[in-house]
Structure formats: structure tokens, C-alpha cells
Structure 1
Amino acid sequence: MDYVVTAELEPPVDATELDALQREGVAALLDRQLALVEGVAGPAEAEIDVLDYRITVHPSGASVVLALDAPALLPAEQAAATVLNELIGESELLVGWSVAHSEVRITEDEFNESLAAAERIGAADDSGLEAAIEEALESAEESEATLDTEQWRSRLTELSGRLRAFDLDAFGTDSAETARLAAGALIHAVRVVTDEIFYDELALAINNATADDAVGLLVLEELPQCYEHRYDSWFARAFLLSSAAVASRLTDRDWTPPRTVAEALALRLFVNEAQVLLEAAELMTWDEGEPVFAAFARRAFADTGHEDLYLVDFMPLGDSEDQLSARLEAQFRERGLTFEQWFAPRESEAGMHPYLRPSSEEHPTEA
């Protein structure tokens, strides 16, 4: 039986709230450790498989959602606690952390109903599992209350102070309020895009799919279409690390422009999401926001040339008889824009996460 267990991890009692950089670090550490876990021994030596997971880090700790194949509800909860306790115990960076609780947030009957409903509409088994997990994830997250325009104005103004890498004049407007709203929207966009990458990675991993044949992706479909056949779950995890690096630098005192194509694409997603939010909250129309964020882009982006990737609809999987596609691929390679070059820094590998392999290495084949 498949169960979805939600566990809360808490830092030491005397710890202060986690800042943005610490949250990204905790998320990366938990993701790296959980990616290595395939199963755990349950009662009577029963093997409990870890099917998938999702991590959300907040100022007071972390929420971890585990999809487990277990014989019953209680062993599923115990197995989740065991996995996380062992993970904490083996990491020097999580000394003092603890598992506050571990519980199934979707019952067996509810899971079966979700799975049966998916099968009735002709979905494959993996899609049914995805639907059940999605339902559990939605119930595990706190639903954000609908905010009116003034509430959004207050929230974004408060968040604006976290964009430490830029002064308000980076937005090219004489209105301090407009600049603060744009800055706050960028910080909020980081949270939204990060959650969406987590969801997309889960969807791709469950279905062993790439973005070109997946349905319902939230953010990866906004990346250049020419390489969407390369966006698998490994790519989503690597892209998440790149986006985390950009997000952390937005909160630093000094700005470091995107070092890779992937980082430039992540920053573009943050900017687009910020504009969407401001328009939805009726604080700034898209037309009003364009010059504001265009000014920011001139300050924030390095000359990676990533915009040109959006001008091409498709790139061949390998050698192609299409001379035009072959020439485009060759031109992209000369400019450092081919898919294999997205995670390679332009100047140096200093400070790059080890998970982001050099362009000469192939990423692991997903099971």
C-alpha cells in the first residue's frame, strides 16, 4: 500500500529563525541525502520503499513529504521517522535538529479513492500515484488566505527589504513605492518558483518523463522549448540548485550576476513571476511593470545570450540531417548556449555545487 507521510523537522530550540540563505542550504542538504534513500526496514524486517519525497523549508524548520510503499499506516509513519532521524544523525550540519512528528496526512481510503478515480479516467498507474500524492501535498501545505490589494501591498513592501543586493534605483523609477513593490514581488517570486520546481521534479520523476511529454508542469514549461525534450527529473534537481544560488545572491549585500545559462534562466523566471503577481494583485499592470523590470534586468543580468534560446522551437536530439538545425546548434555551442553547457560557469567553477557536473559529463540516466 502506498502512503504519503508528512514530517516536521525542527532546528535546535535555541536557534534563531532560518534566513533565506540558510533555508536554501537546508533544502539542498536534505534533498541530497534523501535522494540516496531507496528503502528502510520496517516491522518484522519488512522492506518499505521510499517512492518519492518533497521538501519545503520555512523560517522555523522544514516539512518533508515522503511517498512510501508500506504494509500499513503505522509502519509507514515509523519508517518516515526512522529515515529522517538517521539522516539527521549522519549529518554534522544538522546537529541539534529533530523530527517533531511524522504522520500520514492522507488516509488509505482517500488514497484508494484518488487512485481509483485516476484509473477510471484512463490514467496509468504512475499517473494515479501522482494524483494521490498531489492531493496529499495540497493537504499538507497551509493554504494561503486570499489577500486583497492593500494586504498584498503591505506584504510586498515588508518583503522588499530582503532584496539586499540592489538599491531601489535598480528599478529605474522615481517612485519609491513602485520600486519597493517590485523588490518585494521578486522575493515572493523566489518562493513560488522554488515550490513549482519541486512539484515539476516530482511529476517528472514519478512518470519517468521529460517536459515535452508531461502534462500539467508549472514552471519548466516556461523554459526554452528547443530543449524541452531534455528536461527530466535530473535536470529539474540541477536547475533547482542553480535557482537557489541566484536566490541566495539576491539577498547578499553585493550582487553577482548569473554565472551560467541555467542561473540566467532562473532569474528570468523570478522576474516573470514577480510581474504576474503584481498584475494579479492589481498593484501594477503588465505594461506598467515592463519598464520597471527591464531596468532591473539591465542591472542584474550578465551577457549570457540566453534570450536567443527562446527564438528556436526545437533542437535535434543528436546528429541531424536538417542543415539549419545543425548550424543553429553549432552557433549555440560557440556561444556556450547548448543544453550541455547550461550548468558550466563562464569563467571558473569556484563556488559551484558539486551536483552541477561539468558539461563534458553525462548526467545519470533516470530509472
Structure 2
Amino acid sequence: MTAELEPPVGAVTLDALQQEGIAAVLDRHLALVEGVSGPGEADIDVLDYRITAHPTGANVVLALDAPSLLAAEQAAASVLDELVGESEVLTGWSVAHPEVRITEDEFNQRLAAAGEVRPDDELEAAVEEALEHTAETPRTMDVEQWRTRLTELSAQLRAFDVDTFAGPGEPAERARLAAGALVHAVRVVTDEVFFDELALAINNATVADAVGLLVLEELPPCYDNRYDSLFARSFLLASAAVAARLTEPGWTPPRSVAEALALRLIVNEARVVLEAAELVGWDASGPVFAAFADQAFGDNAHEELYEIDLPRPEDADDETTVQVGKVEAELRSRGLAFDQWFDPRDEDRAGLHPYLG
């Protein structure tokens, strides 16, 4: 059985990192499914599965041991509907185009063809071949589709003129693509922070301990043992604030360290999008966004955090602890200490979200 999982209507296309994240979520849930009740309380086993994420959703292929094709169809729909309904990450997603991709006779033929292997491996071999033959080719956007999409999104960036991205000798089209990529990156980073927050909450972990995160690993590593789910929720609000100002007339630079770091992640993702879409290479996008950064950030004090090396408290001896204290004091004097990241630099708390206060 195969089916398409589709995001909510109007959702942006998934980039490479989002596709990896969605595939990881689906894999985590499907790995826990061993079987499902079919018609007449028949037990239907889920033998194996394949997940292929693509820019417009994900294709899922299920190998089921069912008494009939109808029972298999119902079981597959039940499994996928329940998966979508229970996952917060997949809120608004839907199951579409469920269909049989291999009949019972075809499967039996492949099972018989597997007779060359040991009897205990016959079923596994047949399932493996069936899954390989039923996997669909992912639907992808070509270069021109990406060009059109990013050009359309560039109109949403109202805080800056497109000329902001047009450094000396830079073509106007590249500037528009950079502006559109920045808007697209806002959506990507927002989704990725949601995913990372959920992963940290489920595992009661920090970034230092977690694996498979999408974006929070790109924050300064000196504090990675402090980035937990509570931090992720606060960071999401800070990133939302600075992102929203990108779509408003006029521009207010990042008001806090967290906002500056969020904008940095958005810029990096925009460059990833341009490179992945084969529109602007990584090296070529550097000068384009350097021109933007000169006007957007106000200062680059947050960049210093990436050069700081702080050992974990449990790994530090007395001498190291003293040195860490000196580094922390220096950071605090410049408003860069971890517990200052969400404080407004101008000390004006008007407009600050209560959650961050």
C-alpha cells in the first residue's frame, strides 16, 4: 500500500532540512507500529515501511500482512490517519491518494522468486523487493520553479529595499532572489524550531545531549547544555518578533541577543535555499547577504559568542571554574551572558512578550 501525506493547503514547499525532519518524525512513529485491527477484528501486521520525503510532502509505502486487499487498504488508512492525528509536528497534514501498488498475485510471484534464499529469509526478501518496486519518485521543484517562487516571495520583505542586497556589480535578479529566500527562510527556521522544541521536550534533553535536531544546533556551542525545551519556546518568540519586523515598513534592528541570533539563522538558511535551488552558490551569496547584514544587525556582538569555549560545569576543575567565571563576567559586562539573551538592549521592555519577561 502507498499513500501521500500532504501538508496544510497553502504551506510552503519543504526544503532539504524540513524533508529530513518530516521523514524522521514519520519513521519514529511508524517504528512503533506492529499491527492494527482490521475488519472482523482480524489482526493485520505491519511488516515494513518506506518513507520518501519531497518538497510537497511525503510518500509512505507500507507492507502489510492482511487477509484481503480491502483489509489492507483500511488498515493502511487507519495507521496513517492515527499517525497524523497524534503528531503535533504534522498538525494540519492529511492522507491522500492511498492505493494498492502491488497485488496479492504479484507479491506471491516475488515471494516465489525469493526461493533461492534460506526459507527464513523468503518473506523478508519479498517484502524488501516489493517496497523497492513501489517507492515513488519524489516530486521536486526545478530551478525555474524555485526562481519564480522566490521572486514572488521577495515582495513580502517590506522592511528593506531589494537594492539592499545589490552590492557592487550584483545583478538585480540576484537581489530579488536573496530577498525572497530570506522570506522563505523565515518559514523554514520557524518550523525547525517547533520541531526541535518538541524533540527536546519529549526527550527531556538539551542540545548538548540531543541528536537529529534541525536548527538549534547552529546556536553558539558554548551554551549548548542550556538550550532545553523552555529555551526553545522563548527563542521561538524572539525569532517570531524579529521575523515579523522584516515584513513591516521600516526596520528596527534586533532588540536582543536572541533576536540577533535568530536573524543570523534566517540569513544562513536563506543562503542554503539559494544553493540547494541551484540559483546562487554559497560563496556567491556571501557578499549579497553581507550587504544586508551591514544594515540589518546594528552590530555583530553576537558573533563573538561563537568564539567562546566554555566547558560544562561538571567537567571543570577549580582553576577552570575560575577562568569560566572571568569569561562569564566579561560577557555579562557586554550584555552577552546567557541569562541576558532575551533582555532588550535598549532596556525598554515595551512590546516585549510577557513570556520573555
Q: d(CA) in 2 for partners of 1:215 and 1:330?
A: 31
Separation of aligned partners in 2, 1:156 and 1:109 = 36
Please report how far the alpha carbon of residue 314 of structure 1 lies from its aligned counterpart in structure 2 after TM superposition.
Answer: 2.5
**CA 1:333–1:141: 2 relative to 1, 3 Å:** farther
- Partner SS for 2:262: helix
* Alpha-carbon distance in structure 1 between the residues aligned to 2:174 and 2:95: 31
State yes or no: 1:246 paired with 2:242.
yes
Match of 2:338 in 1: 339
SS of equivalent residue, structure 2 residue 234: helix
The more displaced of 153-162 and 132-141 is 132-141
Q: Is the counterpart of residue 164 in structure 1 residue 137 in structure 2? A: no
Which letter maps to 1:354? P
Q: CA deviation at 1:312?
A: 1.7
Structure-2 separation of matches of 1:161 and 1:211:
35
**What displacement does 1:346 show?**
0.8
What is the CA distance between 1:198 and its match in structure 2?
A: 0.3
CA distances 1:193-217 after superposition (whole Å, capped 9, x unpaired): 0000000000011111111101111
2:220 to 193, 215, 224: 224
Q: Partner letter of residue 329 of structure 1?
A: E
Alignment-derived partner of residue 267 in structure 1: 263
Contact 1:212 1:229 in 2 (8 A): yes
Letter in structure 1 aligned against 2:262: A
* Aligned position for 1:122: none
Offset, 1:171: 1.2
The residue aligned with 1:349 is 349
Shift of 1:218: 0.4
Decide whether the 8 Å contact of 2:196 with 2:213 is kept in 1. yes
**Conserved? CA contact 2:7–2:94, under 8 Å:** no
Length-normalised TM-score, structure 1: 0.59
Q: 1: CA distance between counterparts of 2:292 and 2:280?
A: 16
Contact 1:260/1:304 (8 A) holds in 2: no
TM-superposed CA distance for 1:172, in Å, is 3.4
Q: Does the aligned pair in 2 maintain the 1:316–1:325 contact within 8 Å? A: no
**Gapped regions of structure 1 (runs ≥ 5):** 1-5, 11-16, 18-72, 74-104, 115-131, 358-367
Residue pair 2:143, 2:278 contacting (<8 A) in 1 also: yes
Q: For residue 230 of structure 1, report the CA deviation from its aligned partner.
A: 0.6
> Is the 1:171–1:293 Cα contact (8 Å) retained in structure 2?
yes
Give yes or no for the alignment of 1:147 onto 2:141. yes
Alignment of 1:170-185 (within 5 A): 170-173=164-167, 174-185=170-181
After the TM superposition, which residues 1-367 of structure 1 pair with which residues of structure 2 at under 5 Å, given as runs? Answer: 133=87, 140=94, 145-173=139-167, 174-303=170-299, 305-317=301-313, 321=318, 322=320, 323-347=322-346, 348-357=348-357
1:315 to partner: Cα distance: 5.0
Distance 1:187 1:327 in 2: 40
Q: CA 1:342–1:140 in structure 2 vs 1: closer, same or farther (change >3 Å)?
A: farther
Look up the SS of the partner of 1:230 in the other structure.
coil
Q: Distance in 1 between matches of 2:208 and 2:263?
A: 22
State the partner residue of 1:68: none
Q: CA shift at 1:156, angstroms?
A: 0.2
Quote the Cα distance in structure 1 between the aligned partners of 2:228 and 2:194.
12
Structure 1 residues 231 and 108, CA gap change in structure 2 (3 angstroms):
farther
Check conservation: 1:211, 1:221, Cα contact below 8 A: yes
Counterpart contact for 1:242–1:262, Cα < 8 Å: yes
CA distance in 2, matches of 1:157, 1:203: 33
| Equivalent in the alignment of 2:54 | none
Offset from partner CA, 1:83-133 (integer Å, 9 cap, x none): xxxxxxxxxxxxxxxxxxxxxx99775799x9xxxxxxxxxxxxxxxxx84
Who is 1:128 aligned against? none
User: Judging changes above 3 Å, is the alpha-carbon distance between structure 1 residues 164 and 207 closer, same or farther for their aligned structure 2 residues?
Assistant: same
What count of residue pairs does the alignment treat as equivalent?
242
Would the alpha carbon gap of residues 108 and 136 (structure 1) be closer, same or farther in structure 2, given more than 3 Å must change?
farther
Instruction: Report if aligned partners of 1:227, 1:315 keep a CA contact under 8 Å in 2.
Output: no
Q: Which amino acid aligns with 1:349?
A: R
Change in Cα spacing, 1:320 to 1:239, as seen in structure 2 (3 Å) is farther
Once superposed, what is the RMSD of the aligned Cα atoms? Answer: 3.4
Unaligned residue ranges in structure 2 (runs of 5+): 1-5, 11-36, 38-74, 97-137
1:164 touches 1:253 (CA, 8 Å); kept in 2?
yes
Provide the C-alpha distance between the structure 1 equivalents of 2:226 and 2:304, rounded to a whole number of angstroms: 18
Kindly state the Cα deviation for residue 238 of structure 1 after the two structures are TM-superposed: 0.5
> Hey, what's the Cα distance between the residues in 2 that align with 1:107 and 1:330?
58
Structure number with bigger Rg: 2
Shift of 1:146: 1.4
**What is the CA-CA distance between 1:324 and the residue it aligns to?**
2.9
How big is the shift at 1:330? 1.1
In the TM superposition, structure 1's runs of 4+ consecutive aligned residues that sit over 6 Å from their partners are 105-108
What CA distance in whole angstroms lies between the structure 2 residues aligned with 1:250 and 1:135?
25
Change (3 A) 1:312 1:248: same
Describe the shift of the 1:110–1:162 C-alpha distance in structure 2 as closer, same or farther (beyond 3 A): closer
In structure 1, C-alpha distance between the alignment counterparts of 2:76 and 2:330, rounded to whole Å: 51
Q: Per-residue deviation at 1:254?
A: 0.5
CA distance in 2, matches of 1:138, 1:217: 22
After superposition, the Cα gap between the structure-2 partners of 1:276 and 1:109, relative to the gap in structure 1 and judged at 3 Å, is closer
